[in-house]
Amino acid sequence: IQTKEGLTVNADEGIQFRIDPNQANILFQTYRRGIDEITDAALRTAVRDSLNRLSSTMTSDMIYGQGRVELIEKATEAIAKEFVSKGIVVE
């Protein structure tokens, strides 16, 4: 991810999610792929995009310090909002 100062910060990203069984048909109609492919493509891209967008407003000191929790919470919230209507519940 890139910081406000233009520095590159390496981050191991991870996400915990589940499929809403009542919306599984919507998920597979939307992507027409298996869950591994959805995870590796759409979900991973969304996580990276969200982290990059949010980190670009923060300094490296903020990311490595007190702002890290805020960055994770905001990214999780954004990803959860994006995918809940598609049947993926981000935890």
pTM: 0.84
Give the span between the Cα atoms of 56 and 26, in whole angstroms. Answer: 33
pLDDT tops 90 at residue 81: yes
- What Å distances lie between residue 61 and 16, 74, 77, 89, CA to CA? 26, 18, 22, 31
Q: Can you tell me the mean pLDDT for 44-69?
A: 92
What are the pLDDT digits (tens) for 2-43?
999 999 988 888 889 999 999 999 999 999 999 999 999 999
CA geometry: angle 3, 16, 20, nearest 5 deg? 130
